[in-house]
Amino acid sequence: MTEHQQTQSQAKQLLSLLQRWDMRLRLTLLPLWIPRGIMVGLGVGLAAAIFSRMRPSLMPSQVMGIALLGVVVGGVGAFLVVWLLPRSPIKAARYFDRVFGLKERTSTALEVAAGIIPAAAGFDTLQAQDALAHAAQVKASRHLPFRARRGELGFMVLLAALVAVLAFSFNPQLEALAQERAVSSAIEAQADKLREIKRDIEANKGLSDDEKRELTKLIDDALEKLEQPEITQPEAVAELSKTAELLNEKREGLNQRQREAAKQGGEALNQNPTTQGIGQPLEAGDLGKAASEMNNLAERLKDNQLTEDQAREAADALEEAAKALEELNPEAADALKRAAEALRQGNQEEAAKALEEAAKALQNQQGQMDNSDLSKAAENAANEINQSSSEVAQAGKESSSKAPSGQKGESRTAANPGQPGQQGQPGQDSSSESQAGQPSSSPDGQGEGDPGELMDNADSSSGGDAQDGAQEGDGTGAQSDSDGTEGNPGEGQSGNIESSRGNAAGAGVGSGGSGSDVTEGKSNEQPINPNNQRGDGRLADNRFIYAPSFIGGEGGDKIGVESDQDPGETDPTETGDFTSNPEGESKVRVRDVVGAAKKQADQAMENDRVPGALRGVIREYFSGLQQ
C-alpha cells in the first residue's frame, strides 16, 4: 500500500467516526428542540384561543384542533430540522475537536488529506495516524449526554394548560358564533332547497320554455344573492320573501297590461265607499275575492238598500271601472256597464243581476288561472320559499322562557316588594273584615283602614301598577312586615304583619318611596279582638273602587264620561250609512286590506325609507297576513 493510499484509508476512518459522533449529537439535540417546536405550536393555539374571545370566529373544538395541529407540526418540524440539517465534515470535525478536546487533530487531518493545507511528504500520514489514535480514545456518550431543560418543559406544560383553559372555559363570543353558524347553515340549506325547486320547475312538462325561464330566473336571482359570502340574516330573509312575492305575482296569471288594468279598475272602485270592498282585492289582482265582493253588493241591491245618491255614485264608479277592465275581462266589463246603467235608472234588481254576471266572469277567469300549470308551479314554489324564509328568520334564535306572571293582587294593593301577590293567596276572603278595612285584630294589634283610602293608595299608582316605593303602614291591611313575610294561607289580608310601630306610612316611607301621599294610615285605637278567625278557604272577587288620588290631594278631571245629550251643531261629528249595518260593526277583513297596505310598505322600502335590516321582517309579516 502506498503512502497516499494509506492516508486516504485513514481519512475514511476519521469520516466514519465523525458520522457516528454526528448521529449521537443529533440524537442528543432532539429532547431539546422537539419541546421547543411543540411550544411554537402551542403558541399558535394560544393565539387562536385569544382571538376566539375577541371575535365570534372559532369553536372550542376548533381552537383545540388548531393547537393540536400546531403541536404536531412544531414537533415534527423540529425533529426534521435537527435530523436533516446538513453539516459538512470539516465543520463537524472542528466542532468535535472543541467538544472532545482533540486540539484540532481531526479537522487538520481532514484538511491535509483533502489538500486544503499543503504538507510535506509523509506528514499527512502521520497527522491522520495521530488523529485516529486520539479519536479512538474518545467516549462520545460522556461528552454528548441526553439532556432537556426543565424550565422549558415546565413552560410547555403551562402553555398547554392555558390553551385548554381558554378553549373550554366560558367564552362570551360562543353564543354569537353559534347563532352566526346556525344562520349560515340555514342559508346554505335553503340555497339547496332553491336548487331543488329549480330542478322541479325545469322537469315540469306542463310549462312552456318561456314559463320555465321566467320562474327559474327568479330562483337564480335568489340563489345568486344567497351565495354571497357576506350575506346577513335580514338580507337573506328579505331576498326569500321578495322571491316568494314575485312568484305569487306569477301565480296570478295576469300579464303586465292585465295587472295594470286591474289596478286602475280597483282604484276607480276605491273612490266610492259602496264599491270599495270590490276595489281593494281587484287592485291587488285577486279576481276571486273581487267577484265575491260583487256578489255581496248584488245582495244589497236586491234588497234596495242603496239610496238614490249612493246608487248614482256607485254607478259612476262601476262605469269607470268597466272602462279599465276591458283589457282584463271584456265580459265582466260589459256586465259592469249594464249594472251602472241600471243603477242610474233606479233599477237595483237589474243592476244586481249584472253584477252577478260580472262576478261569474271574474270567477271563471280566476279559476282558469288557478288551474293552470304555471299557477300551480308558482304557488308551490312560493309556498316552499315562504317556509324557507321563516326557517332562516328563526335560525339562531333561542326560545326565551316566559317570565311567570305575578298574581293579580300584587299591583292592586301597592304591596311592599317583599310580599308578592297577597290577594290571590288561598283562603283569603277579600270581602272579609280585614280585607275591607273593618276592625281586624291581628296578633300584633294592627289598626283599621278606611276602604276608600286603601283603594286610593292602590289606584293612585301609575296605570294601576305597583309602585317601587310601596306603601307600608299601620292599618292598610295590605302591608307586610319589614322582612317581606307573606301572610299565611287562611288569614285575613292584614295577616301577621308588623311595620314600624307608631309610624303612619304614606307612599314614600319605605325604600324607594316617591314622596308623601295624601292618604295616611290610622293607628288602631281599639283592643285586640280575640274572636278574629282565619278565613274559611273560600275565594271571593276583589271589589275595586275607583277613587283617584293624586299628589297634592286633588283629583283630576274624568275622561271619557258618557253623556245622554245629543251632539251640538258645532261638535265634530261624521255621519255615515248604517242601513245595512245598524250596529256599526267592522266587516272589513284583514286580508281585504293587506294588499294595499303591503304596496305602501313596498313603496316605502323602495324609497329607502325603511332600514335594510327590517325589510325582511316586514316582507315576512305581510306574507303571513296574505296566507
Q: Are 302 and 286 in contact (CB under 8 A)?
A: no
Q: Distance between CA 335 and CA 347 in Å, rounded?
A: 15
Task: Answer whether residue 438 shows pLDDT above 50.
Answer: no
Which residues have a Cβ under 8 Å from the Cβ of 306 and sit 6 or more positions away?
A: 274, 300, 314, 343, 348
SS3 of 548-609: CCCCCCCCCCCCCCCCCCCCCCCCCCCCCCCCCCCCCCCCCCHHHHHHHHHHHHHHHHHCCC
- pLDDT recorded at residue 557: 54
Range with the lowest mean pLDDT among 58-62, 100-104, 617-621? 617-621
Q: Distance between CA 323 and CA 325 in Å, rounded?
A: 6
Q: What is the pLDDT of residues 315-334, one digit of tens each?
A: 999 999 999 888 888 999 99
Q: What is the pLDDT of residues 412-424, one digit of tens each?
A: 333 343 443 334 3
Mean pLDDT on 604-619: 72
Highest mean pLDDT among 13-17, 34-38, 620-624: 34-38
Mean pLDDT on 463-481: 38
Cell of 121: 511528504
Q: What is the pLDDT of residues 358-402, one digit of tens each?
A: 999 888 887 777 666 677 787 788 888 888 888 888 876 653 333
Which is more confident, 184 or 486?
Answer: 184
* Encoded amino acid at 65, one letter: G
Which letter, b or e, does each residue of 343-359 get, where b requires 16 or more Cβ atoms within 10 Å of its Cβ?
Answer: beeebbebbbbbbbbbb
Q: For Cα atoms 250, 256, 257, give the angle at the middle one, nearest 5 degrees.
A: 140
Mean pLDDT on 304-309: 89
Mean pLDDT on 346-365: 90
- pLDDT recorded at residue 368: 73
Q: What percent of the chain has pLDDT over 70?
A: 65
- pLDDT recorded at residue 370: 65
Task: Answer whether residue 544 shows pLDDT above 70.
Answer: no
Confidence of residue 582 (pLDDT cuts 50, 70, 90): low
- pLDDT recorded at residue 415: 36
- DSSP state letters, 78-90: HHHHHHH----HH
Range with the lowest mean pLDDT among 219-233, 272-286, 415-429? 415-429
Mean pLDDT on 350-358: 92
Range with the lowest mean pLDDT among 136-140, 407-411, 511-515? 407-411
- What letter would DSSP give residue 464? G
- pLDDT recorded at residue 495: 38
Q: Are 424 and 486 in contact (CB under 8 A)?
A: no
Ramachandran region, residue 481 (left: φ > 0; alpha: ψ -120 to 50; beta: rest): beta
Q: What is the pLDDT of residues 237-248, one digit of tens each?
A: 888 888 888 887
Q: What percent of the chain has pLDDT over 90?
A: 19
Task: Answer whether residue 602 shows pLDDT above 90.
Answer: no
- pLDDT recorded at residue 226: 87
Task: Answer whether residue 45 shows pLDDT above 70.
Answer: yes
Q: Using alpha carbons, list the distances in angstroms from residue 270 to 134, 314, 417, 559.
A: 116, 10, 56, 36
pTM (2 decimals)? 0.42
Confidence of residue 75 (pLDDT cuts 50, 70, 90): very high
- Residue keyed to cell 313575610: 485
Mean pLDDT on 496-514: 38
Q: Distance between CA 261 and CA 324 in Å, rounded?
A: 5
Task: Answer whether residue 457 shows pLDDT above 90.
Answer: no
Cell of 442: 291581628
Q: Distance between CA 474 and CA 481 in Å, rounded?
A: 10
Confidence of residue 135 (pLDDT cuts 50, 70, 90): confident
Q: For Cα atoms 72, 77, 83, give the angle at the middle one, nearest 5 degrees.
A: 130
* 3-state SS assignment for residue 452: helix
Task: Answer whether residue 163 shows pLDDT above 50.
Answer: yes
Confidence of residue 563 (pLDDT cuts 50, 70, 90): low
Q: Nearest-CA neighbor of 107 among 134, 80, 139, 142? A: 134
Return the C-alpha torsion angle 135, 141, 143, 149, nearest 10. Answer: 160
Mean pLDDT of the chain: 73
Confidence of residue 573 (pLDDT cuts 50, 70, 90): low
Which is more confident, 128 or 543?
Answer: 128
Q: What is the pLDDT of residues 519-543, one digit of tens each?
A: 444 455 455 554 555 455 555 555 5
